[in-house]
Structure 1
Amino acid sequence: MTIRIILADDHPIFRDGLVHSIEETGAFTVMGVGGSADDAVNLAEQHRPDIALLDLSMPGSGITAASRISQAGTAKAVAMLTVSEDGEDVTAAMQAGATGYVLKGVSAAELRDILTRIAAGEAHVSPGLAAQMLRIMQSEKTVERQPIDDLTKREEEILKGVAAGKSNKEIGRDLNIQEKTVKHYMTIVLSKLQARNRVEAALIAQKAWGKK
């Protein structure tokens, strides 16, 4: 059974040569070709291929096409074919739903082998690029989201009042709400911040917002 592929790349000469290389052994069938993100999305919708093979930098963005195809579920797998060795591009492609990131410098035989493995459900990123992607992911983890970022707008308003040293009554007057409502919100704020009291909550707020 042949592996069905759609291909989108905005360089016709390269694209034509690629089709020949992919189909050379008879193990693959290129169902359709295009030169833009919109072409790729439409081809995937029309043919429901095993693999959507996309150029990263084509008009409309290969990342955008990968995301739209992945969300629509119109291809079993999405793979990027690109000259970019930028770790951020690799990460963006994977986040968009691609399971393969292939550099254009590979040989035809290597490409067919990679595509066969992607069609079988494997992921492919060259070792050097995988290392870059891992470093980027690890650096992103160091910028962790803080509990204070999850406060609603009203909860932020309450906490800002507390941080300014205002009483519940004063905060209620400023926001035109009842004092008991302020107390209710403050209970939620303390819980979200895992703060033991108003003073601790105020310190957390000053640390987070004092830089703004």
Structure 2
Amino acid sequence: MMDTKIRVAVIDEYPLFREGMVSALEEHTDIEVVARGETIQDAIRIAREYEPHVVAVDVALLDSALASISDILLQYPAASILAVAMTASEEQVSSALQRGVRGYLMKKASTYELVQTVRALKRGEYYVSPSVAARLLMRADASPAKADSSLSRVAELTLREEEILSILVQGCSNKEIGNKLALSEKTIKHHVTNILQKLQVRNRVEAALLAAGRMPAGVHVRQ
């Protein structure tokens, strides 16, 4: 029988927090912690040797060498990187997402949120902690001028692009959007690229935030 457990690696320089995450994750039968480490070098090696579905990394380690995100993904492109942070700024989150991080979780998060985030990343979704997502929304809505600008950018979308964006916000992948609209995944990918350019956003998370306006607590957006 095929093993369907979610393989997770936990990388944090502080043993107390690292082992705390491991214990929290291993309480769930669908999750297996396959390796743990304390440096970026450990993360790169573990990605190659253990092929985890999710690599949870202390964001402080990533900040010291952001190029290491690419190194981890080079070793195992199928891995989803979850950045775990004590504090976070909008710039940090945007930079991490641009470089390939798929999840951004605060260290004060509950065990439930940690587990749900790991499961979401395994499904191919993005996840950003609610507190960080709220700040992104506040920055986007900081002034009427910015709000008007956002509306004008959405207005530039074609009817097909608006239709795709409305489904994207629901957390659907390109394949799922294609199935709903009877279009190929390649065609959807082309439309999504155009949507990001017209909305002047850097990734699908920011596009969903802009389109959703006042999105409630979590942000779950698939690639």
Instruction: State whether TM-score is above 0.5.
Output: yes
Residues 1:50 and 2:71 aligned together: no
- In the TM superposition, what is the alpha-carbon distance from 1:61 to its structure 2 partner? 3.3
Which of these residues, 101, 106, 122, is aligned with residue 103 of structure 1? Answer: 106
Q: Which one has a bigger Cα radius of gyration?
A: 1
1:41 to 41, 44, 50: 44
What is residue 21 of structure 1 aligned with on the other side? 24
Residue 66 of structure 1, CA deviation:
2.1
Amino acid in the other structure paired with 2:92: D
Any unmatched runs of 5+ in structure 2?
147-223
SS at match of 1:106: coil
Structure-2 separation of matches of 1:100 and 1:59:
13
Report sequence identity in percent: 30
Matched to 1:12, the amino acid is: P
Residue type of the partner of 1:124?
Y
Q: Structure 1 regions of 5+ residues with no counterpart?
A: 140-212
Letter in 2 for 1:106: A
> Residue by residue, what CA displacement relative to the aligned partner does 1:49-81 show, whole Å, maximum 9, x if unpaired?
101111111388373432222244344311111
Distance between the aligned counterparts of 1:123 and 1:59, measured in 2?
18
User: How far apart, CA to CA, are the structure 2 residues paired with 1:43 and 1:19?
Assistant: 15
Question: What code does the residue aligned with 1:36 have?
Answer: T
Q: 84, 89, 93: which is aligned to 2:92?
A: 89
Residue pair 2:6, 2:53 contacting (<8 A) in 1 also: yes
Does the 8 A contact of 2:62 with 2:68 survive in 1? no
Does residue 32 (structure 1) correspond to residue 35 (structure 2)? The answer is: yes
Q: Deviations over 1:83-120 (max 9, x none)?
A: 12211111121111011000111111221011101110
Count of residues in Structure 1 that have an aligned counterpart in Structure 2: 139
More displaced stretch, 25-34 vs 51-60: 51-60
Structure 1: how far apart are the matches of 2:65 and 2:116? Answer: 22
Matched, 1:112 2:115: yes
TM-score when normalising by structure 2: 0.56
Matching residue's letter, 2:59: L
Q: Please state whether the residue corresponding to 2:81 is helix, strand or coil.
A: strand
Query: What's the TM-score, normalizing by structure 1?
Result: 0.59
**Which has the bigger relative contact order, CA under 8 A and spacing at least 6?**
2
